[in-house]
Amino acid sequence: MSSLHLKKYDVCVIGGGYMGSAVALGLVNLGARVLVADKISNIQKASKANFGLVWSQSKGINHRPYSLWSQNAVRATRDFVKSLEEESTIDVELRLGKGMIACLGDKELEEKTQVIKRLHRAAASHGEEHPSQMLDHKEVQELVGKIPLGEAVTGASFSPIDGDLNPLLFLKAMRKVFQKKGGIFAHGCTVQAIEKNKENFVLATTQGKIEAPRIVMAAGHGNVDLAAMLDPNNPPEIPIVPEKGQLLVTERVKPFLSFPMSGLRQTECGTVMIGTTQEDTGFDVSTTVSVAARLSNRAIQIFPSLSNTRIVRSWGGLRVLTSDGLPIYDEIKGHPNAFVLATHSCVTLASLHFSLLPPWIMGKEKPKEIQPFNLERFHV
Amino acid sequence: MFKPFKPPANGKEVTIDFEGTLLEVSQNITVAAAVLGHAKKNFTRLSNVNSEKRAPCCFMGICHECLMEIDGIPNQQACLIEVREGMKIKRQLGHPGVEK
């Protein structure tokens, strides 16, 4: 791409993953001139290692605003994806309406039952209903169909709204429509310094200088360093840590599972994805045999007939985890019009990132749904 | 349709069984090359998703278009496996189920 030297935009979005792409697409829809600066990273980007769940049932167990935010996002996904597919002509393989988390043994069943009860109580205290429910072994078997369920499966939590999609095609579709509508996507553009003149932020990048009155940090773990560029002597604190997830991919087999079971889903082309772990290993994304064994073992306990299916790939990626697990959507204190956005659930939440964040970024009032997800909560 | 662009190094041949037809093919070539170069109707599998005919594309283990059943084991990448004397090769008509 040609030099972006001294190019002026209305908004510069730093980071072209699910977060940056969804927000950038919403911004061009509002008529803004938008540049997305997406750097080449030597670590596995979170958006390239995603499992593809569109998921609400296990979110916000102790935080009702996050539970609602996730449910509303899942409910908005069908319409968002429909228009995305029409405009991009890419089928992102969305399936909504069934999502399950299998429980192995009595202890897991009891714990999951308590979680679902807590979600129901929290909803009931507001005169509402939470869509998730518990299923027993027989009900799980009826829903999965022909493939025999392992005896170790004692039940499952079930959501009638959750589902999955092909995460790479989803990302491709958002980027394609963004560019089709006039957005500039700068591949391999690394922001090296941020300064301010009278009206604009001036970004020094590997592809020249970019000026914009508004900047959006949507760079996952990179947000920490980007925020520090605003004030190197007194860097704003962005509490994000990496959390490693590993997953396995099997050879292609005949379709046997038509909906995601949390860490187990079969893609349209027949592979089974088996995940995923939650590990604190810093920025190390290597895969380990012990984890592969544990993941495979769990999958076989759910569907014993999978024991004949071979694993062909495994990979590790890094989630963008905030210190309390909830999203961050905020303007950085002392730096008006510099926004920071971060969450580990960027596929699930993309529909609302697309619709609700852009008007706020362009100067409208901050939506009340996202007010709990500020930076101030980390400073109490 | 496909021809070798240089003669085999040692001129030796092996006999393989492709869907019941015996083929004399050069040693040290892959199953994918043998199927494309020697068998008629050169395809290696039918898609699991839409039953279309598929043939080897990348020849380096990435595209998985060359999946075949080799010596009774399904989902083998024909582009990564060399022919052996007596090898039995079948086209893969859709993917195997999990219960083999």
Segment A285-340, tens digit of pLDDT: 788 888 889 999 999 999 999 998 999 888 888 889 999 999 999 999 999 999 99
pLDDT of A216-229, one tens digit each?
Answer: 999 999 999 999 99
Confidence at A43, pLDDT banded by 50, 70, 90 = low
Interface touch A310/B49, C-beta < 8 Å: no
Q: Is the pLDDT of residue A284 over 80?
A: no
Confidence at A120, pLDDT banded by 50, 70, 90 = very high
Chain B partners within 8 Å of A303 (Cβ): 98
Interface touch B95/A308, C-beta < 8 Å: no
Assess if residue B6 is contained within a domain.
no
Assess if residue B79 is contained within a domain.
yes
Q: Answer yes or no: do A331 and A279 share one domain.
A: no
Assess if residue B58 is contained within a domain.
yes
A 109-148 residues inside an 8 A Cβ radius of B: 147
Q: What is the DSSP pairing of strand B13-18 with strand A240-250?
A: unpaired
Distance CA(A329)–CA(A23), nearest Å, equals 12
Distance CA(B17)–CA(B87), nearest Å, equals 6
The predicted structure's pLDDT at residue A2: 52
Q: Answer yes or no: do A235 and A258 share one domain.
A: no
Assess if residue B98 is contained within a domain.
no
Nearest CA in chain A to B77: A251
Q: What is the DSSP pairing of strand A214-217 with strand A338-342?
A: parallel
Confidence at A42, pLDDT banded by 50, 70, 90 = low
Distance CA(B99)–CA(A305), nearest Å, equals 6
Domains contained in chain B, number: 1
When CB atoms are compared, the residue of B49, B64, B98 closest to A253 is B98
What is the residue-wise DSSP string for B7-24? --SS--EEEEEETTEEEE
Give the domain-ending residue among A283, A302, A322.
A322
Q: Answer yes or no: do A214 and A328 share one domain.
A: yes
Assess if residue B51 is contained within a domain.
yes
Domains contained in chain A, number: 3
Q: Answer yes or no: do A301 and A353 share one domain.
A: no
Determine the distance in angstroms separating the CA of A302 from the nearest CA of chain B, rounded to an integer. 13
Give the domain-ending residue among A301, A322, A343.
A322
Q: Answer yes or no: do A172 and A273 share one domain.
A: no
Interface touch B98/A254, C-beta < 8 Å: yes
- The boundaries of the domain holding residue A108 are 99-159
E strand spans, A86-239:
95-96, 99-104, 133-136, 153-159, 163-164, 184-187, 191-196, 201-205, 208-212, 214-217
What the block records as the tokens of A305 is 């007939």
DSSP A238: -
3-state helix, strand, coil split of chain B in percent (to 5) is 10, 35, 55
- Given CB atoms, is B61 within the 8 Å cutoff of chain A? no
Chain A partners within 8 Å of B75 (Cβ): 251-252, 310
Determine the distance in angstroms separating the CA of B6 from the nearest CA of chain A, rounded to an integer. 33
CATH number where B25 lies: 3.10.20.440
**What Rg do the C-alpha atoms of chain B give, in angstroms?**
13
Confidence at A44, pLDDT banded by 50, 70, 90 = low
- 3-class SS of residue B76: strand
Assess if residue A372 is contained within a domain.
yes
CATH number where A175 lies: 3.50.50.60
Q: Answer yes or no: do A196 and A235 share one domain.
A: yes
Q: Answer yes or no: do A342 and A230 share one domain.
A: yes
What the block records as the tokens of A280 is 């604190």
The predicted structure's pLDDT at residue A315: 86
When CB atoms are compared, the residue of A253, A269, A310 closest to B97 is A253
pLDDT of A246-265, one tens digit each?
Answer: 899 999 898 999 999 988 99
What the block records as the tokens of B31 is 């199953």
- The boundaries of the domain holding residue B59 are 13-93
Q: What is the DSSP pairing of strand A338-342 with strand A311-322?
A: unpaired
Distance CA(A281)–CA(A275), nearest Å, equals 17
- Given CB atoms, is A253 within the 8 Å cutoff of chain B? yes
Q: Answer yes or no: do A305 and A346 share one domain.
A: no
User: Is residue B31 classed exposed, middle or buried when 0-12, 13-18 and 19+ CB atoms within 10 A define those classes?
Assistant: buried
3-state helix, strand, coil split of chain A in percent (to 5) is 35, 25, 40
Which amino acid type is present at position A105? G
Which amino acid type is present at position A215? I
Assess if residue A59 is contained within a domain.
no
CATH number where A259 lies: 3.30.9.10
End-to-end CA, chain A:
45
Q: Answer yes or no: do A178 and A308 share one domain.
A: no
Determine the distance in angstroms separating the CA of A308 from the nearest CA of chain B, rounded to an integer. 7
Assess if residue A221 is contained within a domain.
yes
Interface touch A253/B64, C-beta < 8 Å: no
- Given CB atoms, is A254 within the 8 Å cutoff of chain B? yes
Assess if residue A79 is contained within a domain.
no
Mean local confidence (pLDDT), A29-51: 86
Assess if residue B7 is contained within a domain.
no
The predicted structure's pLDDT at residue A1: 47
Distance CA(A159)–CA(B34), nearest Å, equals 50
Rounded percentage of chain A residues whose pLDDT exceeds 90: 80
Q: Answer yes or no: do A359 and A317 share one domain.
A: no
Assess if residue B34 is contained within a domain.
yes
The predicted structure's pLDDT at residue A136: 97
